[in-house]
Structure 1
Amino acid sequence: MTRARAKGMLRALALALVLGMALLAQMSGEARAVQPDEVLDDPALEERARDISSGLRCLVCRNESIDDSNAELARDLRLLVRERLVAGDSDKEVVEFVVDRYGEYVLLQPRATGSNLVLWLAGPIMLLLGGAIGWSYMRRRGRASETPAQALSEAEAERLREIMKE
């Protein structure tokens, strides 16, 4: 590889790195998908809406909150949350309304109740079970008596010497 080509590749890599960092900087922080026409006039209600929508999953984008998503469905959900808050619902009532309408999948942190409880407990139970099996195996292995290997008989030793000469 020539020096000029290596220098060009290094520049391209540096440019890609700078652009990637700029993109990450733009996406982080307060750069949310909430549009100015969605923002409520009352700052307290707007903050409640942001708190609620940060815990709701965008059904299009999967593991992205509706606050961070640019999908049309996320916008509809943000507007729905704000509409319910303006109507006087509590935070819990708003979340319940959205869950009743879209199912528990809409929650970024599923509740640890009902059938979800099995999923929440399966990991720790499997870890404890695996640890118990490993501990049991190591304990049995330590108790196993190792029988010392018997020395070769004179005839076996002679035969081994013959094989080694060949």
Structure 2
Amino acid sequence: MATYDSHMSEARPGNLPLRMQNCSIERTLGVVGEKWTFLVLREAFAGVRRFADMQLATGAPRQVLSARLSRLVEEGLLRKVPYREPGQRQRDEYRLTQMGLDLYPIMMALMHWGDRYLSGDDGPPVLVTHRGCGAPVEQYFRCADGHEISGPQEVTPLAGPGLRPLAIPGATPGATVSG
């Protein structure tokens, strides 16, 4: 992830290359970065497990939903669990794995953003509260020392041990950007 400021038009010395071969955001979007995938995950977090219920809740065409569920199983975010209704053939339910459950903060962040900017005059369509006390759920970023982070201006991206810069044709070797 590169950091940019409002005056940036060219690379400046800094911590990260202009482009990475292995950006975690890009790889994550390769798995979940599609509307139907997020809607399937929304329903899975709400406890919807069966294909027909998932299709009804998302409005996804049958083939699209089948492809998304297969992909989420293949990627390890969902697992299939067989079930059988009396007198019917065996079918599969789809349950979140730990990998899938770990996407919950992302789903909540998307929902909170949508509530803030897209919900309209009536307010948010869903309110998420803590089951234990009933208080609204909020999200915060904190550093390991407990300081609250209010936005990107308060963080510094540094090269991690797995960083693999991508050579950009015409760019100065080693060109980086910082904020």
TM over 0.5: no
1 or 2, which has the higher helix percentage? 1
Q: What TM-score does the superposition give when structure 2 sets the normalisation length? A: 0.19
Larger RCO, structure (CA 8 Å, separation 6 or more): 2
Larger Rg, first or second structure (1 or 2): 1
1 or 2, which has the higher strand percentage? 2
